[in-house]
Amino acid sequence: MPLVPRSLRPRCRIVSHVCALPLATAVTTDLRSLESILATNETADNLSPGAPLKKSFFMTTTFAFLFTVLFAQICVGEGVRVRDLAMISGARDNQLVGYGLVVGLAGDGDKDQAYSKQSVANMLLRFGVNIPATLLSAKNVAAVMLTADIPPFLKNGSRIDVNVASMGDAKSLNGGVLLQTPLIGADGKVYAVAQGALVVGGFSAGDGGAGGATVTKNHPTTAVIVNGALVEKEIPTQFVRDNSVELLLRDPSFGSASAMAAAINEVFKSSAQALDSSTVKVQIPEGSTGSPVDFIAKLNQVEVTPDTPARIIINERTGTIVATSDIHISSCAVASGNITINVSQTLDVSQPGAFSSGRTAVTPRTSTSVTENKSRLIPLPELPTVEKVAAALSSLGATPRDMMGIFQAMKQAGALRAELVVR
């Protein structure tokens, strides 16, 4: 690769100076001010103002500057689509449930549960085989519950996924096949029928019991049948009422609802109105009343800048902390320390004396130790951004478990200006 001449090297430095300008200054800077900036940098880099390279140099830097400004505007101004923030009222999923049998489990099925044997007897009776349930064995069969969500607008013959879960004491559903099972809705009507081979995401192996060992990965008693249910009945859906549609926000907020209505009115004049924190009503324009689908497709592409609340989510079970960018912490002092308690138990053997009538006995011995880490009170300045909050807590050496206690204490002290949600 040929070396870059020294006369060309100032280009990169000048571009970096231009890119470092604030966005507001960069947007209002015209070509003349840009040329003056270039001239200043040329002087700083000992460039001759009358150099032959000045014109191409200016054009290259101008292109880089305009590209940087345009990219910054896109990054700053880019919002979230309406379809990602809200759903159309009426276009909702519906839940289905069913009870069925999974066969072919090679001894891993239910251990002769009464309902399993009775279900097998009822199934055989449908095929003309009449056998009392008490004479049957269900070790290769498992009674299962099925759940599925049927999206709106699905027609007869469409397929949906089905979740299968054992409801008895089956050891595993590996290798099982679900027999034809109707899926019913909340109204008691059958909307789909499920059947097919199960896909299990786990396994269980080993004999267990005294002296045995077992290995289990994930949950072998739950499975999925991809496209395993066939839709038999379409669910009627009405999403246009009085030439208008309603948008239901997934995260209700008065600020987001107002911002969404304003963004829609910029595209479709005077058509949107925020009814409450979760509903925005949009009137279909006169030219689009005959094609509401096309109108909704355009409506879903409108970009909105949502109102993100200052919120911290704490999950104590998993040790997870999630915070939004708008949290604010007032000046306070924090000290955090850990207390570790170790309890160990050992077994000692007590031997009787020789030629005595005593017996050998095993006696437990318990030892307890407490370790408390030293900590000091550290003052924290006002922290207006989540980045500064994270840096300050990390400087304390706090673990996620410590941060949970710190956030809760800050909230009680009134220093945390954010909603604290503990799961």
Asked if residue 264 and residue 205 are part of one domain, the reply reads no
Under the banding of pLDDT at 50, 70 and 90, the label for residue 114 is confident
Give the C-alpha separation, 284 to 329, whole Å: 45
Determine how β-strand 159-166 pairs with β-strand 141-150: antiparallel
Q: What is the mean pLDDT of residues 98-111?
A: 91
- From the list 123, 132, 116, the residue with the least C-alpha distance to 169 is 116
Single pTM value for the model: 0.64
pLDDT recorded at residue 187: 93
Helices (H), ranges, 302-370: none
Q: Decide if 417 is inside a domain.
A: yes
Asked if residue 138 and residue 117 are part of one domain, the reply reads yes
Using a pLDDT cut of 70, give the percent of the chain over it: 74
Q: Decide if 297 is inside a domain.
A: yes
- Judge whether residue 46 has pLDDT over 70: no
Greater confidence (42 vs 336) lies with: 336
Asked if residue 44 and residue 24 are part of one domain, the reply reads yes
**Cα 29 to the center of its chain, rounded Å:** 42
302 burial level (CB within 10 Å; 0-12, 13-18, 19+): buried
Cβ atoms of 281 and 273 within 8 Å: the answer is yes
Average pLDDT, the chain: 78
Cβ atoms of 165 and 198 within 8 Å: the answer is no
Asked if residue 136 and residue 209 are part of one domain, the reply reads yes
Give the C-alpha separation, 347 to 363, whole Å: 6
DSSP code, position 250: S
End-of-domain residue from the set 197, 231, 265:
231
Asked if residue 202 and residue 120 are part of one domain, the reply reads yes
Counted domains in the chain: 4
Contacts of 216 (CB under 8 A, 6+ apart): 202, 203, 204, 205
Residue found by looking up tokens 């069925």 in the block:
100
pLDDT recorded at residue 3: 46
Asked if residue 100 and residue 189 are part of one domain, the reply reads yes
Q: Decide if 85 is inside a domain.
A: no
Reduce the DSSP state of residue 411 to 3 states and report it.
helix
- From the list 302, 293, 301, 279, the residue with the least C-alpha distance to 240 is 293
Asked if residue 137 and residue 51 are part of one domain, the reply reads no
Q: Which domain holds residue 276?
A: 244-304
DSSP string, 137-157: --TTEEEEEEEEEEPTTPPTT
- Judge whether residue 17 has pLDDT over 60: no
Asked if residue 116 and residue 212 are part of one domain, the reply reads yes
Give the C-alpha separation, 14 to 359, whole Å: 92
In 2-83, the DSSP E strands lie at: 80-81
Give the C-alpha separation, 11 to 180, whole Å: 71
Q: Decide if 239 is inside a domain.
A: no
φ, ψ (nearest 5 deg) of residue 118: -65, -40
Q: Decide if 357 is inside a domain.
A: no
Asked if residue 206 and residue 152 are part of one domain, the reply reads yes
Give the C-alpha separation, 155 to 29, whole Å: 57
Asked if residue 222 and residue 119 are part of one domain, the reply reads yes
End-of-domain residue from the set 187, 204, 231:
231
- Judge whether residue 2 has pLDDT over 70: no
**Cα 271 to the center of its chain, rounded Å:** 33
> What are the counts of helices (DSSP H) followed by strands (DSSP E) for the chain?
10, 22
Using a pLDDT cut of 90, give the percent of the chain over it: 34
Tokens (6 digits) for 17: 């100076």
pLDDT recorded at residue 212: 54
Asked if residue 371 and residue 323 are part of one domain, the reply reads yes
Amino acid identity of residue 129, one-letter, is: V
Q: How confident is the model over 190-211, as pLDDT tens digits? A: 999 999 999 988 766 665 554 5
Under the banding of pLDDT at 50, 70 and 90, the label for residue 325 is confident
Cβ atoms of 193 and 227 within 8 Å: the answer is no
pLDDT recorded at residue 8: 41
User: What b/e sequence results for 150-173 when a residue is b if at least 16 CB atoms lie within 10 Å of its CB, and e otherwise?
Assistant: bebebeeebebebbbebebebbbb
Under the banding of pLDDT at 50, 70 and 90, the label for residue 334 is confident
Cβ atoms of 112 and 121 within 8 Å: the answer is no
Q: Decide if 356 is inside a domain.
A: no
Least confident of 150-154, 219-223, 231-235, 394-398: 394-398
End-of-domain residue from the set 29, 44, 77:
77
Least confident of 68-82, 91-105, 129-143, 324-338: 68-82
Q: Decide if 320 is inside a domain.
A: yes
Asked if residue 215 and residue 103 are part of one domain, the reply reads yes
Other CB atoms closer than 10 Å to residue 224's CB: what's the count? 13
Amino acid identity of residue 19, one-letter, is: C
Q: Decide if 269 is inside a domain.
A: yes
